[in-house]
Amino acid sequence: MVIKNVALETVCGVTSTLPVNDKIEVAFAGKSNVGKSSLINALMNRKALARTSAQPGKTQTINFYNINNAMYLVDLPGYGYAKVAQSEKEKWGRMIERYLQKSQMLKAVFLLIDIRHDPSANDKLMYDWILYNGYEPIIIATKLDKIKRSQVQKQVKAVREGLGMKGGTVIPFSAETKQGRDEIWEMIDAWIAE
C-alpha cells in the first residue's frame, strides 16, 4: 500500500454507535505499552497520529483510521493496566466485544505481543476471546530490534507456546527498523483485493 491519505475518521467511546463502513477493517489489540501506537504510526508512515502510551484512567476509545479511502486500521484500546477499576475493565470488555461481534467489515484481528516476554494471562485471554469471536488472531511480535537476531526463533516459539497456537502466523516487527511492515501490508492488500 502506498499511503496517500490517512485520517482519524471515527473515535468511539463506550456508548458511541459503531460506524457502518463500506471498506474493510483490520483491528489491532494488545496490552498497553506493547507498541501498538508505534506500529499503527509505522503502517501509516506517520510519526505520531496514533496516540502513544495513553495513560491509565484516560478515556478508552476505538479509533478508526481511514487509509486512502480503501480500508480502515482500527486501534482497539489497550489492556492490562493493573490500576484500572474493575468497572472500567468491564466497560472495556463490553466495548471490544460489541465491536468484534457487530462489525460487518472486520476482516482480521492482529494481536500484538512483546517479542521479549512470554505472553501474559491477559494476552492468552485476548487470544482465546478473538478466536471465540470467529477470527484467528495474527500475531505481531513487537520490538524486534530489542533482541539479538539469534534469539528471534526461540522467542517466536515461546510466543506460540504461550498462546497455545496450533498454526497461524507470527510476524516479528520493529517500529525502529520497520522490519515486518511490508509483510503486514501485503496481507492487508490481499484482503482489499478479494
Q: Which residues bind ligand GDP (CB under 6 A)?
A: 30, 32-38, 52-53, 78, 142-143, 145-146, 174-176
Of 10 and 38, nearer to ligand GDP (C-beta) is 38
Report the nearest approach of ligand GDP to the CB of residue 22 (Å): 28
Shortest spacing between CB 25 and ligand GDP, in angstroms: 18
Q: Which lies closer to ligand GDP via its Cβ, residue 28 or residue 99?
A: 28
Q: Is 128 or 176 the residue whose CB approaches ligand GDP more closely? A: 176
CA distance 113 to 24: 24
CB of 163 to ligand GDP, least distance (A): 18
Nearer to ligand GDP, 10 or 142 (CB): 142
CB 119, min distance to ligand GDP, A? 15
Q: How many residues does the chain have?
A: 194
Report how far residue 88's alpha carbon sits from residue 139's, in angstroms, rounded to the nearest whole number. 26
For CA atoms 45, 159, 115, 61, give the dihedral sign. Answer: positive
- Say how far apart CA 160 and CA 139 lie, in whole Å: 9
Cα–Cα distances in angstroms (integers) from residue 155 to residues 8, 14, 188, in the given order: 34, 35, 25
